[in-house]
Amino acid sequence: MPELGPRDHEDASQRAEFQLFLRQRGIRSNNVLRALETVPRTMFVPDEMAPHAYADRALPIACGQTISQPFLVAYMTEQLELNDTHKVLEVGTGTGYQTAVLARIGRRIYTIDRYRTLVSAAEARLQSLRITNVTAMPGDGAQGWPAQAPFDRIMVTAAADQIPKPLIDQLAEGGIMIIPVGTGDQRLMKVVKGEDGKLTEKSLMAVRFVPLVAGRAASL
């Protein structure tokens, strides 16, 4: 990718190259491809990382966290089977990039992160993109957002030792959750709650995410 100035929007050639890369990796959903095309990733990485925004690897962000690699964002979003009728909970706001992608497809997005500074910065980025269907707050993501449950879809962007029961309880019948699970060896899991409340779990791929830490950060 050519070097970008901080916060510059991608030009047409970069967007085309990014779309081609995702298609070559097997992303087929037009909704997902369109969402990723319209969310400028350089806005969501630190200034010094802007030249590497579209490198297919996780990048460091504030508070010791990371922004997921572009393919993984696309893949997780596609596996969520999201449409414009769905109410979504995102656990792990980070810089707000995945949030923005979800917001381009879903009806209403509720996003939570244990770091207040990440939430505030993400809200500012979303506002600059005129994304208005997102509600964000700092808090304990493992506990979900009970006041807004149930959710048609849940996206978790940090690895849990096991799937948190509050998130299972807050997933609507017929809903889908995408979550990385494990401590050493992590697996990306797709969890479907049937109409009878029974869970079906499918292992999608090996991944490596920062851990899902219980509680809200005290000072950040």
CA distance 61 to 132: 24
Please provide the distance, in angstroms rounded to a whole number, between the alpha carbons at the two ends of the chain. Answer: 33
**Could you tell me which residues come within 8 angstroms of residue 124 by beta carbon, excluding any fewer than 6 positions away?**
none
Question: For 190, phi and psi rounded to 5 degrees?
Answer: -110, 120
Residue ranges with strand state E in 65-212: 66-67, 87-91, 108-113, 134-138, 151-156, 171-181, 186-193, 199-207
Please identify which of the residues 29, 68, 120, 203 carries the catalytic annotation: 68
CA distance 203 to 187: 6
Q: Residue 219 catalytic?
A: no
Pairing of strands 108-113, 134-138: parallel
Closest to 105 (Cα-Cα) out of 155, 44, 160, 165: 155
Which residues are identified as catalytic? 68
